[in-house]
Amino acid sequence: MRGYFGIGVEGISKAMNVGSIFRTAHAFGAGFVFTVAATYSETEGGRADTSGATDHVPFYNFPDIASMVLPDTCAIVGVELTEDSIELPSFRHPARAAYVLGPERGSLSAEMSDKCEFIIKIPTSFCVNVSIAAAIVMYDRVQSMGRFQRRPERPGGPTEPLAEPVFGDPKFRARAEPYLDTPPPDVHPTEDDD
């Protein structure tokens, strides 16, 4: 998958939700995780983060929005269920993104929303748990930016093998880099690929 992403929360109060988000971020290959003005204890959150994500993925605990420091050219993408938000299935993820979700029973602050380059929503009729929302966004990023086979016209999985390595295969990143932002070529594996 091209680029990188980080994911974090603003103003969240339940450490177990944060731990769950961090564990899922670790599983999806996040480049970093963060909190902003949040109540988070790694001891309590660690009960949900059974992978020990913060031992493997950089964790930034920003006390407020003004102290947020993200990589240059990293787009902040808010996740918020509002009328004007872009629906997730219609959203093209930036190659370099930091996704931020608001607190339980609340919304992203106006100040955070102003910092966002995009605000997206999951097309549900009401809000889902914040850790579930984070997982859906990360899955959509991997699914839409990874190099997977097209879904078949009929129910079930693909019937033809993929000529290129897929997400999760160690050869994937090296093989995918030359084809970024272009449709995949009609390439067949050679004996060197074994």
Residues 165 and 121 in one domain: no
Q: 16 in a domain, yes or no?
A: yes
Q: What is the pLDDT of residues 103-161, one digit of tens each?
A: 888 899 999 999 999 999 999 988 899 999 999 999 999 999 887 877 788 888 877 77
Residue 6 dihedral angles phi and psi, to the nearest 5°: -125, 160
Q: 153 in a domain, yes or no?
A: no
Q: 154 in a domain, yes or no?
A: no
Q: What is the pLDDT of residues 147-167, one digit of tens each?
A: 787 778 888 887 777 666 655
Strand-by-strand arrangement of the 4-10 sheet: 59-62, 32-36, 4-10, 96-101, 75-79, 118-121, 86-87
**Secondary structure (H, E, C), 89-140:** HHCCCCCEEEEEECCCCCCCCHHHHHHCCEEEECCCCCCCCHHHHHHHHHHH
Residues 172 and 98 in one domain: no
Number of domains observed in the structure of the chain? 2
> Which residues sit opposite 79 in a β-bridge?
101, 120
Residues 126 and 186 in one domain: no
Question: The domain containing residue 82 runs over which residues?
Answer: 4-145
Instruction: State the Cα angle at 78 between 75 and 81, rounded to 5°.
Output: 155
Q: What is the pLDDT of residues 13-22, one digit of tens each?
A: 887 888 899 9
CATH number for 30: 3.40.1280.10
Q: 150 in a domain, yes or no?
A: no
Residues 183 and 100 in one domain: no
pTM of the model: 0.78
